[in-house]
Amino acid sequence: MSARSRTAEQAEDGAGSWKASLPCSKAEAEALQEDISPLALLDEPPVLMSSEPDPARPDEWRLDAYFAAEPTAEMLAMLQALAPSSAGAAPTVERVEARDWVTLSQQGLEPIQAGHFFVHTPAHRDKVPADSIAFEIDAGRAFGTGQHETTSGCLVALSKLKDQGIRVSNLLDLGTGTGLLAFAAMRLWPTARAAASDIDPVSIEVTEENAAINQIRVGRGPGHVELAVAAGLEHGRLRQRAPYDLIIANILAGPLIELAPSVSKALEAGGRLILAGLLDSHAGAVAAAYRRHGLMLGFRVQHGEWPTLVMRKRKSLGWR
């Protein structure tokens, strides 16, 4: 059962909610749009909402966490870890009227138009443009709702590859989060075989739920996405499916560099690699790690301080 349905049932039953609040920076608030781990792994994860209390102080934000029951000291410590700038400030905790906080938080998430894609929450189903490829992604338990620049940058990169006439028959979304990027690639190349993996089992559960919502077929054949819980390419099925002609890896700079040998090996000669989850200051090191394994930079998508790198494996080297 999803966090959203649990929260809705609690509201209907009249149970109370608890709110814990902390000051945070704007950067910390933006990061929370995509990743609430380890709180996301709780049996009843809280709903996080961030706000800018005073527009005259644009870097001073507030983080509110809504829990189904009174949060423990361990939960509050997890919350505080999401806002390092608040070190030394104890969270304020209070009991509040029970409401469906997930639905309310989603109402504040505006739809995203990125490349050929329109990504929205259930609250904006009536706003889908007729000429867009639309996906409904619930905000909540996993990274990759389209709100963050890293995810939207990948959507733009996929759109550009399609517009360039690139053909894809076998793709991998490494660190899939919500499944959105795998789904987007499948809409552009509907006959391709796809795999989506994540180190977090919750993400794979969320991806399966989102696949059903967006009418994406789960399985091993053409036009299907195969799901796997795996760290990097450490899964028999992911290795068996190689070589891939498209790999998407929207993770973090450190893991991207660490995975460069195995990811490059799994990419076929001439194949494309989309790298995201890195800041401008990390782009050079990440690109260099993959150049050492025979890849060259094709183009770059820039959203704020978050670049998306699209690289291609040199044909002369082969994938093995």
Residues within the annotated binding site?
A: 151, 175, 198, 250
Residues 312 and 246: their CA atoms lie apart, in Å, by 9
Identity of residue 117:
F
Residues 1 and 216: their CA atoms lie apart, in Å, by 20
Structure-token match 């050929």, residue found: 116
Determine phi and psi for 135, rounding to 5 degrees. -135, 135
Q: At what angle do helices 180-188 and 201-213 cross, to 10 degrees?
A: 40
Q: Are 53 and 61 in contact (CB under 8 A)?
A: yes
Q: Are 160 and 115 in contact (CB under 8 A)?
A: yes
Q: Is the omega angle on the peptide bond into residue 45 within 30 degrees of 0, that is, cis?
A: no
Residues 278 and 289: their CA atoms lie apart, in Å, by 13
> Comparing C-alpha atoms, which of 41, 88, 82, 85 is closest to residue 65?
82
> Comparing C-alpha atoms, which of 173, 174, 197, 168 is closest to residue 183?
173
Residues 192 and 65: their CA atoms lie apart, in Å, by 40
> Comparing C-alpha atoms, which of 241, 232, 243 is closest to residue 271?
243
Determine phi and psi for 220, rounding to 5 degrees. -105, -15
Residue ranges for the known binding site for S-adenosyl-L-methionine are 151, 175, 198, 250
